[in-house]
Structure 1
Amino acid sequence: MLSERSSVDIHALHRQGMTISEIARRTNHDRKTIRAHLAGERQPGIRKRASPDPFDPFVDYVTARLVEDPHLWAMTLLDELHRLGFTGSYPTLTRQIRARRLRPACIACAHVTKRANAIIEHPPGEETQFDWVELPDAPTGWGYPTKRAYALVGSLAHSGSWRAVLSPSMDEPHLLAAMTALLALHGGLTRIWWFDRMRTVLNPATGDLTPTFAAFAKHHGVTAVVCRPRSGNRKGVVEKNNHTAAQRWWRNLSDEVTAEHAQVSLEAFARRQDGRRREGKHGTTTAAAMRATEGLRPLPPAVFPVVVAEQRTATRQALIDWRGNRYSVPPELAAARVTVQHRLGAAVIDIATASGVVVARHRLAEPGLGVTIRDTGHVTALETIALASAPPGRPHRRKERIPPGSAALAAAAILTGETTPTTTVIDLAAYEQAAKNRNTLP
C-alpha cells in the first residue's frame, strides 16, 4: 500500500522520464505496486486484500434493498442476510455499508426537525406503557375486515421489556381483550398504566376516562394516566418498541403465515429482544436481567368480563372461519353475514345473525388448530336441504355422447330449408303369413 505522499513521488518521477524499475529502486517499492498505481488500478491509502472480500456476494442484495427502502434498519437487513448465508456481525455490516456508501440519501426526509429529549426516571415495577402500532397490508388470509392489522404493544418502562398482541380492530372491546392477553404475557401488573389520548381510554368531551375502561382499571387495581396534549415523547419506551416491531418483525413477515402463527412469531421475537444490552445503575446489563427486578404484582384471579364481537361471512357449507378454526351455523345462513361473540374467559362462543339473534353456540377450540366444529343438528339440516335441492335422475357424465334428437333435427331442417325425406316402412309379417297358407306353387 502506498501513502498519498509516495503516490505523488512516483508520479513525479515517472513524469521526469524514469522507468518503473528505477522508480522502484529509488522508492524501495515493488515494481508491480508502482505499475498498478501509475495505471490507476490501485488507490493510495487502500490496501489490496490478499483474499476475496466475503461481503462481495451480498453487495447487490444490500444495494437493492437500500434503494427500495432507504430507512431500512441495518439490524433488519442483517436478519435477512443471515437467512441468505451471511456470517458477519452487525458492526461488519454497518462498516461495509459506510465504506461502500451503499445507503442512498432520502430527499423526502432531509428536512425533518430534531427535538430535545428529557431523561425520565422509571423505577422498577412502576410503569407500563401501552400503544397501538398500525400494520398495513395484512395478509388476505387473516380474514380481517380491512387490509390493516393492529398490534397493541405493552412495554415495562424500567427494563424496556415488551410484549405485543395482534388485533383486527382498535375498538374498546378489542383493546381490553388485547390488554388482558398482554398482561398475561407479562405475568403481572405495575402500579401505573400510560396511554395516548385515544378515544377508547379518554372521553374527549369530558376529558375523563371512559366508564368501561375505568371499570377495567379498577378491576386490576392500577392507576391509568393519559399523556398531556402534544406530549407524545412521554412514552418513549413503547414508541421505540413500536418502531422495532414494525421495522424488524412486520416488514419481513411472509404472506403465507396465518394470524395465529404470526402472533406466536411476534411473541418469540419480543422475547428475543430481552437479551439486548441495557445500561443500569450498576453497569451494563440486559433487559431480561432488569425485567427480573420489576417486582410485578399478581394478576386478578378472574378476567374482566368484556365481549368481543367480530363479523364473518359463512361459506356455502355453512361454516365460518374464526381464529384459525371453523364453526358451523344453521344451513339457512350459508353465505350470509354473521357476528361471532366471545366473552373473555368463557369456554364457548356465540354466533348471531345481523339482527343480533344468537343462532349457534360452540365450545371454543384452541386458536390456530385448524379444526372444524359442527353441531349435529346443523349437519342433519344441511344434508336434508342439499338432498332436497338435488335434481331428479342421475347427473350427466362429462364425456357422455348425446347426439341431436328428433326435435333438434326438425328444428335444424326448418332453419336450413331442407325437407325431411319420407320413408315407407314395409311390414314383412304379412308376407310371411301368406307364404305359410300356400301349399303349392302357383
Structure 2
Amino acid sequence: MAICPPRRGNRKGVVEKANHSAAQRWWRTVPDALTVEQAQSGVDKLAVRMDERRRSVDGVRVTVAQLAAGEPMLALPTLPFPAELEAVRTVSPQALVSFDGNLYSVPPGMPGAQVTVRHRLGEDYLHIVTAGKAVVARHRLAPSGAGHKVRDSGHVIALERAVLAQVSDRAPCKTKTRRPLSEAALAEAERLRGRAVGTGPAERVVINLDTYAAVADRLRTAPTPEEEPGE
C-alpha cells in the first residue's frame, strides 16, 4: 500500500483511513534506533496486512487494495495554487508605488492615496488596485529587491501633461524696472506736502531751549517751603 494523496471518487474514505493508520499508529511505535531499511520493511509488511483487509462498500466485500486500484490519483496541477499576495501601499508624489524592493507607476493625480498591490503566485504580473477595487495599473513583475522603476508609457505621458499644464507660457515678469514718476504722482506728492506743513503733530511741537533755561532759573531762585516767611 502506497501512502499517497487523496484519490478521485474515494468512497467512504477507506483509502484515506488506511493511510492515516500507517502514518499515525504505526509511525508512533517505530523505535528511535530503527534504521531506514528496517523502517521500510516494517511499513511494507503493514501495507500488505492493511491491503488485504476487507471492507464492505455498497454491500460488496472488497479489499483496500481493490479500492485503491480502481481509484487512480489525480493528475498534478499545471499551475501552482492560486494564492494572492496583497500589500497596502501609499502613492508617492511622483506617482510611484513601492513593492518588494521596486517602484511601480500609477496614473497621476493620486499622491497620498492608499492602494493595494496584488500578485498571484506563479504569475509574471502584478496589479495595483484602489480602495474601490478598481485596477489602475498592471505591470510586469521586476526581480525582487532590484531597485527598478517600472513605468507604464501611458502613465509617463499623462504625468508629463499634468506637469506641463501647471507651467505658464507667459513672459516672465520684469523686475527692478525703474520708471520716472508721472505728472499725477508728482502733483499728489506736492498736495500732500502742502497739507502736512503746520498741521501735523510733529509740526505743532516747538522745542526752544531758551524756554527750558528760563524755567530752570526760576526753579533755582524760588524759595523753599522752610525759607518762606510765616504768617
Q: TM-score, with normalisation over the residues of structure 1?
A: 0.23
Name which structure has the greater RCO, CA cutoff 8 Å, separation 6+.
2
Larger Rg over CA atoms: 2
TM-score, reference length from structure 2 = 0.42
